[in-house]
Structure 1
Amino acid sequence: MAVQISPSILSADFARLAEAAAAVPNADWLHVDVMDNHFVPNLTLGLPVVESLLKATTLPLDCHLMIEDPDRWAPSYAEAGAGSVTIHAEAAKAPIRTLRQIRAAGARSGLALNPGTPVEPYEDLLGEIDMLLLMTVEPGFGGQKFLDVVLPKIHRARRLIDKHGGQVWLQVDGGVSDHTIERCAEAGADVFVAGNAVYGADDPAMAVDSLRSMAEKS
């Protein structure tokens, strides 16, 4: 799988999201963290902002729903035009139905797991998803320190994906930087969400190139 970089606008200036998107034209995706202050203790943005952002950028949106009722809301993000919509296994009540609705609406379907959630119980869902997202911090806030404890789970997830044909992308999100991306790539991840490492840099586009290069060398 080719390395993909998905800068997270959670670390950008929310008053200048269109400019933040334009600052990373070399990115593969633009990661959008949707938080509802229920599933996670933070409130960010929702569907109206995503719809506006879709009009302001040509980058495909990678929408990560950290919300209490993804079964209700996820299809709407796909219908709006998001390129990828990821729901949390811990929040979904009918994950197979919801994942299929996301795909039916034309988006890639993703399943996210919190750091403490094992990957093995979800092996049977690999055929229903296009991307598996492993959180490498506890979800809810940007700028957290990478949790090394998740690295063995990345290894295990890669083995499961390869066992089933290797068509599922393996994304990591949380604390991804020039200090951690190589270890994530070596463990088997191929899609990398980076917030502060991109938008905290003087040149976000150069940061994207640097992260990509480091991951490709691993």
Structure 2
Amino acid sequence: MIAPSILSADFAHLAEAADSVPTSDWLHVDVMDNHFVPNLTLGLPVVTSLHAATDLPLDCHLMIDDPDRWAPGYAEAGAANVTFHVEAAADAAQTARSIRAAGALAGLAVKPGTELEPYLDVLREFDTLLVMTVEPGFGGQSFMPEVLPKVRLAREHVRSGHLRLFLEVDGGISADTIAQAAEAGADVFVAGSAVFGADDPGRAVEALRDRARAAMAV
């Protein structure tokens, strides 16, 4: 699954950006509050408007403080998947239940420096695990292959039946790096500048999908 990140799109033309990637599986929306990460992007009103402007499922990645309070509102606004950071959550399991009760899939995100092992049990409450392959906060960073062992570990637990999850990677995903992530076990790929920086964003989505499928088939 390919989830283009509108962080790399023109914020004045988000509806047009969504229209330019019609075969995407999800549309990734980075929400930043300038507290959890040192950047400020967009919030709930924009997500509400974007949901009304596109049929693509919205994949909201909340890089915010106090997600326990704010995350369910994104599900209520129509997001298909709402992901928040374990580093910011007071009660990750309860927040996941609240997101699901509001009608969305619940996702848990981990920064590059956060170990996965302590959260394997709580991941049973989630539908998505988002492994950051850059430090969260800004687009256009270089892919960090050193975090891929976390993806491999999660994939092992999925294969064993311990977990049932989408395994998502976000950060530096491009034609040059997507195969590494796919081989490690990821099945959802967030790509920003590799899509919206391309001359034809729709064709870029399909090219990324082809590379990921080829790597999974090996």
TM-score by length of 2: 0.97
User: After the TM superposition, which of the residue ranges 204-213 and 154-163 deviates more from structure 2?
Assistant: 154-163
Match of 2:64 among 54, 64, 67: 67
Residue in structure 1 matched with residue 195 of structure 2 by the alignment: 198
Letter in 1 for 2:72: P
Q: Deviations over 1:60-101 (max 9, x none)?
A: 100000001100100000011100000100000011110000
Residue in structure 1 matched with residue 27 of structure 2 by the alignment: 30
Task: Give the match's secondary structure for 2:121.
Answer: helix
Q: Is residue 132 of structure 1 aligned with residue 135 of structure 2? A: no
Alpha-carbon distance in 2 for matches of 1:88, 1:164: 24
Structure 1 position 163, deviation (Å): 2.5
Whether the 8 Å contact between 1:126 and 1:161 is mirrored in structure 2 is no
Match of 2:17 among 9, 16, 20: 20
Structure 1 position 161, deviation (Å): 2.4
Alpha-carbon distance in 2 for matches of 1:165, 1:212: 27
Structure 1 position 197, deviation (Å): 0.4
TM-score by length of 1: 0.97
Q: Is residue 90 of structure 1 aligned with residue 87 of structure 2? A: yes
Alpha-carbon distance in 1 for matches of 2:21, 2:13: 13
Alpha-carbon distance in 2 for matches of 1:71, 1:93: 7
Mapping 1:169-208, distance limit 5 Å: 169-208=166-205
Structure 1 position 111, deviation (Å): 0.1
Residue in structure 2 matched with residue 211 of structure 1 by the alignment: 208
Segments of structure 1 that go 5 or more residues without pairing to the other structure are none
Structure 1 position 125, deviation (Å): 1.4
Letter in 2 for 1:191: V
Whether the 8 Å contact between 2:170 and 2:190 is mirrored in structure 1 is yes
Task: Among all aligned residue pairs of Structure 1 and Structure 2, give the percentage whose two residues are the same amino acid.
Answer: 67
Letter in 1 for 2:21: V
Letter in 1 for 2:74: Y
4+ runs deviating over 4 angstroms:
none
CA-based RMSD of the aligned residues comes to 0.8
Segments of structure 2 that go 5 or more residues without pairing to the other structure are none
